[in-house]
């Protein structure tokens, strides 16, 4: 679908939050802690004119000190704008639909149909990771293999760099509509992707009972050759889905950006729901 090039992690850069030391400025601490141990000398006798001059002097000194303390103690923003935050694809440039759901809920099957019927570009995060794992010389191969077998989430830097690269290559070739399948699986990915790559149009969420997904995956495992289509890995993937990925669905749902589909249905019936969902969002 697109030429695969060497994974370059440079495009995804993570903003640094500069926290400021909110401690009381040294000058104030010094002022507070100055305590004389010797008794003050008796005040000299003062004339009324001298008293007025002294009063004005104290007033002037006081306001200068106060102004200087105020400027030093003024709270500064915790996040200093360093470099301007830029998104790789500003709104309107591309359309990204996230496709989420439990393992085996049928995401890939429906995405493939949309590629044929509607010309979407289908980017499966899992497929991209498997390709990177298989790429000769990849320094992430072992890490990816381990995560996939254990059903855990590969660090976002790797997955987002792969996705960004794939989107860029397809965009350069004229593509505008993307189905991002099986991503974001974790909150950090959701936030970073929308900050650095593109805002999602909405999320298609594939609801399916665990038992149905389990049966489908065990069946698929007979021929898929996937290292995670076995009961041990599937159990771990289900747990990761509930604990780590569902919060992402809830996060987008709170923004009114999730369309839920009943996927315990024949492929064509799910496909009808998908089409209606896209129509309802003007895609």
Ligand X SMILES: Nc1ncnc2c1ncn2[C@@H]1O[C@H](COP(=O)(O)OP(=O)(O)OP(=O)(O)O)[C@@H](O)[C@H]1O
| Collapsed DSSP state (helix, strand, coil) of residue 154 | coil
d(CA 122, CA 112): 7
Contact with ligand LLZGTKA7 (CB under 6 A): which of 96, 100, 125, 190? 125
Counting contacts by CB under 6 A, is residue 122 touching ligand LLZGTKA7?
no
Q: Which stretch binds ligand X (CB under 6 A): 104-112, 114-122, 155-163, 167-175?
A: 104-112
Residue 104 interface partner, choices ligand X, ligand LLZGTKA7, none, CB cut-off 5-8 Å depending on type: ligand X
Closest approach, Cβ 21 to ligand X, in A, equals 46
Q: Which stretch binds ligand X (CB under 6 A): 6-14, 185-193, 247-255, 261-269?
A: 261-269
- Element holding 170 (H helix, E strand): helix 156-172
Contact 105, 263 (CB under 8 A): yes
Rounded least distance, CB 272 to ligand LLZGTKA7, Å: 23
Given candidates 97, 101, 123, 148, which one binds ligand X under the rule CB under 6 A?
101
Nearer to ligand X, 12 or 114 (CB): 114
- At 223, which helix (H) or strand (E)? helix 210-224
Q: Are 138 and 7 in contact (CB under 8 A)?
A: yes
Span of 42-50, 64-72, 122-130, 198-206 interacting with ligand LLZGTKA7 by CB under 6 A: 122-130
Give min distance, CB of 82 to ligand X, in A.
38
Piece of 88-96, 134-142, 193-201, 260-268 that binds ligand X (CB under 6 A)? 260-268
Place of tokens 């006081």: 62
Residue 91 has φ and ψ, to the nearest 5°, of -55, 135
- The number of beta carbons lying within 10 Å of the beta carbon of residue 20 is 11
Residue 136, number of CB atoms within 10 A of its CB: 5
Exactly one of 94, 98, 104, 185 binds ligand X (CB under 6 A); that residue is 104
Enumerate the β-bridge partners of residue 96.
Answer: 178
Would you count residue 221 as binding ligand X (CB under 6 A)?
no
Nearest alpha-carbon partner for 123 in 189, 187, 168: 168
* Residue of the chain from 12, 97, 98, 107 that contacts ligand X (CB under 6 A): 107
Distance CA 13, CA 191 (A): 13
User: Binding site for ATP, residues?
Assistant: 104-109, 220, 265
């Amino acid at each position: 679908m697109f030429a695969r090039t060497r994974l370059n992690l440079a495009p995804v850069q993570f903003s640094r939050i500069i926290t400021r030391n909110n401690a009381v400025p040294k000058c104030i601490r010094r002022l507070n802690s100055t305590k004389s141990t010797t008794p003050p000398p008796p005040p000299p006798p003062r004339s009324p004119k001298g008293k007025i001059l002294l009063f004005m002097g104290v007033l002037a000194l006081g306001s200068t000190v106060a102004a200087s303390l105020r400027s030093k103690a003024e709270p500064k923003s915790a996040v200093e704008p360093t470099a301007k935050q830029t998104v790789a694809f500003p709104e309107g440039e591309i359309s990204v639909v996230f496709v989420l759901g439990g393992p085996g809920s049928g995401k890939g099957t429906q995405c493939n149909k949309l590629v044929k019927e509607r010309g979407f570009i289908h980017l499966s995060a899992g497929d991209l990771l498997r390709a990177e794992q298989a790429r000769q010389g990849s320094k992430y191969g072992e890490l990816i293999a381990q995560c996939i077998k254990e059903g855990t989430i590969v660090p976002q830097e790797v997955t987002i760099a792969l996705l960004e690269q794939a989107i860029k290559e397809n965009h350069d070739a004229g593509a505008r509509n993307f189905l991002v399948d099986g991503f974001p699986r974790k909150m950090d990915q959701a936030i970073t992707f929308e900050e650095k790559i593109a805002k999602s149009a909405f999320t298609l969420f594939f609801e399916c009972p665990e038992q149905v997904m389990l049966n489908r995956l065990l069946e698929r495992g007979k021929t898929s050759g996937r290292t995670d289509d076995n009961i041990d890995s599937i159990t771990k993937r289900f747990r990761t889905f509930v604990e780590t990925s569902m919060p992402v669905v809830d996060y987008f749902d709170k923004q009114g950006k999730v369309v839920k589909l009943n996927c315990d249905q024949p492929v064509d019936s799910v496909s009808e729901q998908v089409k209606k969902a896209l129509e309802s969002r003007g895609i």
